[in-house]
Amino acid sequence: MYRSIRVKLTLWYVCILGLVFAALAVGTYLVFVRAMREETRNNLVEMRTDFTALVYRLHSELPHNSPPETPITDALKEFNFRDYRFAVYSNQDQLIGKTLDGDPPPDSLAAVDENRLKQISINGERYGLYVSPLPLNGKMYKLLVLYSLADQSAVETRISTSFLVGIPILLILAGLGGYLLARQGLKPIAVMGEQAKRIGAKNLHERLPIANSGDEIGNLATLFNQLLDRLDQEFERQRRFMADASHELRTPLAIVRGESEVALQKEIRSDAEYRESLRVVNDEAKRLSKIVEDLFTLARVDSGNIKANFRELYVDEIVDECVRRVRTLADKRRIDVTFTSEELVTHGDEALLQQMFLNLLDNALKYNHEGGHISVTGKGKSVTVSNTGPEIPEELKGMIFERFYRINKAHSRQAESFTSGAGLGLSIARWIAGIHQADLRLTRSEAGENVFSVTFPS
Amino acid sequence: MRVLLVEDDMRIASFVAKGLRENAYAVDTAKDGDEASYMASLSPYDIFILDVNLPFKNGFEVCSELRENGNSKPILMLTARDAVNDRISGLDTGADDYLVKPFEFRELLARLRALLRRNTEVRAPKICIADLEIDTVSQTVRRADNAVELTTKEYSLIEFLAVNKGRVVGREEISEHVWNDGFDPFSNLIEVYIKRLRRKLDDGYPTQLIHTRRGSGYILNDV
């Protein structure tokens, strides 16, 4: 649940929105409170000025023998407001008179400081307090003007309450909206997921739906489809390989089974007949094991699991050894093999290079005619193997290195050889050349002669 | 029964032909599609065995060509490919049966027998004329419950006469269905074999079954 992108997106969205709302609320609240305090102070200052003016007026109107505090007490009587309270103290903090229920806390008297608003609490009620000196008759008094903050507190509470209730509601709504938006936005992904679930080896040709090719999700679907294309091709290649491989294995198997079954269907046969059947069975069994070996090599090639043992070696020595090995077979068909080479040193795997040259020589032997010749030449960094034989048609030149490809399959199976005749020899040879960074190609096929060359990196 | 075996792989053709010959079939082989079409146009084969992967013209093409030319003889396709699509296209181009390599040789023989039975009037694996009984599966012949030892060729001949019982079959027809391409039309091989069959099957029995129709051929019946 918490792993779903929809939920994650929504949670992040709500968190960020919550922070923004909170900052906004706190800011608004602070600005508001500040403005109210400013106003309170101004009102208090104004009240003080009015009160002081009244005291002075009363003082000037009163006869000279009246007690000195009379203007103050008279003024206090006159200043009877709902929200404002007044108290006057002597310089020795003796209460002269007040319109206040209860006493302000003693420390508040200390602040006889102009332009300062102080908040105090009397009998559980909050007041804004403004203290200022009141000189009268050569004596100093302290005037305390108080303003009840009950209304202000109510407003503050209402504001904070509405924020505290409103913000969560807003966040819940925003969260819901965000979730729905995320779900809507991610819907193509869910659809893609459903389709992807259905695609397997059996229907690899199917593709994901592309809702809107322009956006990120459409782009992702396109990329997935391209991946599926590549997988499909690879799968098809593997399938073809399997089909070809089983075809190649079936033929010798059919011969082994058929030949032995036919030989056994008659009770008595001559020794020569049995010998012939056994020879056929034996040949096919040998061919089978060669095919299996080749397929095994290719399987290892495909899985990249082949251990090449690279070291400095003389290619000319390897070729010489290979030429010697094919001579017996060549002699049987009166094919003349010549070999000349310069010294050719390279970095390579001896067994693999040997296999490569044997495959090339085998090819030269197989597609040759009785009494033809093969010439192997090493020059510089290249070894060329040329043989007499039928030319390879132009359109087939690209195919000869393909697995299981044979120009004339009956021909390639009949001739006695080192390889399986399953059409894997050149394909394996090219792969071996590849891991040596060497270039193996058919360089010429004309005038009854085919030339293959391997060029090693210099 | 005369078979045309079309197979480009000589090693397979060799054992199939050998096995079939030992089972009283007259076998000719063709190595490619063109040769197969040519040979089919020359001789009246009783049945065709076609490989699918052939040079020049593949088995499917040879098959549909045979059918287009009005040849209704059974065709059995033989191939190393066992994909369902291959089997379907084989049967759809007019083949009667399909066998995948590697196969059991006895199965090939059984399928050929079944296909041949389907194509003749006689549908039972056993053919009886009076007290003569020919078992086409075990390839044995009995006359009045006595087993008769016959060579492969002798059996082929009596089987061919039995399949066509009550009908006169000419020398040419016999040579075309019982012998393969190697038959010399000027030899008296057929007469020699008929004589041997008479000695083994008719001599000593009250009813003669093998009759000669001078100038036209031979007939097997109990009249």
Q: Which residue of B has its CA nearest to A239?
A: B83
DSSP 8-state symbol, B94: T
Which residues, other chains included, contact A225 with Cβ-Cβ below 8 Å and sequence gap of 6+? Answer: A207, A208, A210
Query: Are A442 and A451 within 8 A, CB to CB?
Result: yes
Of B22, B83, B101, the CB nearest to A251: B101
Of A257, A258, A410, the CB nearest to B10: A410
Query: Are A336 and A327 within 8 A, CB to CB?
Result: no
Average the pLDDT over A283-309 and give the result: 80
Which residues, other chains included, contact B155 with Cβ-Cβ below 8 Å and sequence gap of 6+? Answer: B24, B139, B141
Q: Give the tokens for residue B16.
A: 């199939």
Mean pLDDT value across chain A: 83
pLDDT tens digits, A67-76: 878 888 888 8
pLDDT-above-70 percentage for chain A: 93
pLDDT tens digits, A318-347: 888 888 888 888 888 888 888 888 888 888
Whether the per-residue pLDDT at A415 is higher than 70: the answer is: no
Q: What pLDDT was estimated at residue A24?
A: 93
Average the pLDDT over A37-66 and give the result: 86
pLDDT tens digits, A148-179: 888 888 888 898 899 999 999 999 999 999 88
Position A115 confidence tier, pLDDT thresholds 50, 70, 90: low
Peptide bond into A188 cis (omega under 30): no
Q: Using the beta-carbon criterion (under 8 Å), do A247 and B81 form an inter-chain contact?
A: yes
Q: A368 vs chain B: nearest CA distance in angstroms?
A: 19
Contacts of A253 in chain B (CB under 8 A): 101-102
Q: Using the beta-carbon criterion (under 8 Å), do B8 and A251 form an inter-chain contact?
A: no
DSSP for A386-446, written as a single string: EEESPPPPGGGTTTTTSTT--SSHHHHHHS--SS-SSS-HHHHHHHHHHHTT-EEEEEEEE
- Chain Cα centroid distance, residue A376: 53
Of B10, B22, B53, the CB nearest to A266: B22
Contacts of B5 in chain A (CB under 8 A): none
Provide block-wise average pLDDT over 10 residues at a time, chain B (223 residues).
88 90 88 88 89 84 87 86 75 85 89 81 74 85 87 88 85 84 80 88 85 85 77
Whether the per-residue pLDDT at A220 is higher than 70: the answer is: yes
In this prediction the pTM is 0.57
Q: Which residue of A has its CA nearest to B7?
A: A410
Whether the per-residue pLDDT at A434 is higher than 90: the answer is: no
Q: Which residue of A has its CA nearest to B16?
A: A258
Q: Which residue of A has its CA nearest to B99?
A: A254
A265 touches chain B (CB under 8 A): yes
Q: How far apart are CA A332 and CA A327, in angstroms?
A: 9
A413 touches chain B (CB under 8 A): yes
Contacts of B81 in chain A (CB under 8 A): 243, 247
Position A16 confidence tier, pLDDT thresholds 50, 70, 90: very high
Please tell me the number of Cα atoms within 13 Å of A337 on its side-chain side. Answer: 23
pLDDT tens digits, A84-99: 888 888 888 888 888 8
DSSP for A48-101, written as a single string: HHHHHHHHHHHHHHS-TTS-TTHHHHHHHHH---SSEEEEEEETTS-EEEES-S
Q: What pLDDT was estimated at residue B139?
A: 85
Q: What pLDDT was estimated at residue A307?
A: 73
Average the pLDDT over A287-311 and give the result: 79
pLDDT tens digits, A227-243: 888 888 888 878 877 87
pLDDT-above-90 percentage for chain A: 8
DSSP 8-state symbol, B70: T
Contacts of B19 in chain A (CB under 8 A): 258, 261-262, 265
Amino acid at A226: Q
Point out which residues pair with B48 in neighbouring strands. B4, B75
> What is the value of ipTM here, to two decimals?
0.70
A255 touches chain B (CB under 8 A): yes
Q: Using the beta-carbon criterion (under 8 Å), do A250 and B22 form an inter-chain contact?
A: no
Residue A333 or residue A409, greater confidence = A333
Residue B145 or residue A115, greater confidence = B145
Q: Using the beta-carbon criterion (under 8 Å), do A258 and B81 form an inter-chain contact?
A: no
Which residues, other chains included, contact A248 with Cβ-Cβ below 8 Å and sequence gap of 6+? Answer: A291, A404, A420, A422, A423
